[in-house]
Amino acid sequence: MVQFNVNGKIALVTGGTRGIGYDIAEYFVLNGIDTIIITSRKPDACKDAKASLEACAASHGKSVKVISEPCDMANDDDLRRFHAIISSQITKLDILIANAGASYGTPFDKHPVAQVRKILDINITGVFHSVQLFASLLENAGSAQDPSRVIIVSSIVAFASDFKDAYGYVASKAGVAHLGRNLALTLAPRNINVNSIAPGFFPTKMTKYLYANKRQETNYGNPRKRWGQKEDIQNAVLWLCSRESNYVNGINLNIDGGLHLVGTSKL
């Protein structure tokens, strides 16, 4: 019987204190991870998420080391500082989940160019820089039989052009998905697989307005007629990070109920 797991591995989840990032970190805790590292900009969020993951581990009889350190992924110096702190505590890194990101929405004529630039810095430059910095630790962990993994969190909006008003966000998520394919070519010889996931609509802080006000409209166009549940993301990412997917490299996995086939409906 096949059992997907991350037994004994070390994983870093950026943006890991809430939403999709936290859900992934939580599932790693429940499925054999040895050490989970989480980060986000806010120290209090890091502290609270660390306590929550430790409580989750304890309540399920898991022995997991949780490392939590704040970092602004768009700030080059802060990211280097974060890398130095984490590198002093680990000698390898099996999994990097590049999840940290931001969005901003305003109609076209009033949309500040500065906000587009800010989103691109976080959602693309921050992803590239984090992979670049941690590549040597990822290489230390990877083997031909079980490469280390980079999972980039893109979005359905990278493939659905009717998502309004979030110009930096849609551009960044399309760009980072293509960046993932390029990195897959670059890093495969170093036993590092790079794949992207493109979630559809999931209940998170970023989507709370849509969930509260436009859930029916988003469901209308979705072939599955529902929003995603955290288990949908968790199971997909666990498979991509498990030994059983060692030959999967350079893909973008849509986790959206088929929404990419029809667009984002009436938004």
Alpha-carbon distance of 197 to 154, in angstroms, equals 6
Which of the residues 22, 27, 167, 169 is marked catalytic? Answer: 169
**Residue 61 CB neighbour total at 10 angstroms:** 6
Angle (CA) 136-140-141 rounded to 5° is: 120
Going by C-beta distance under 8 Å and a sequence separation of 6 or more, which residues neighbour residue 144?
A: 191
Alpha-carbon distance of 147 to 241, in angstroms, equals 9
**For residue 148, what are the β-bridge partners?**
192
CB 50 within 8 A of CB 68: yes
**Residue 246 CB neighbour total at 10 angstroms:** 16
> Does the active-site annotation cover 27?
no
How far does Cα 125 stand from its chain's mean position?
14
CA atoms within a 13 Å half-sphere pointing along the CA-CB vector of 64: 34
Hey, is 152 helix, strand or coil? strand
CB 154 within 8 A of CB 197: yes
Alpha-carbon distance of 237 to 196, in angstroms, equals 10
Alpha-carbon distance of 123 to 169, in angstroms, equals 8
Tokens matching residue 106: 């305003």
Hey, is 254 helix, strand or coil? strand
Active site residue ranges: 169
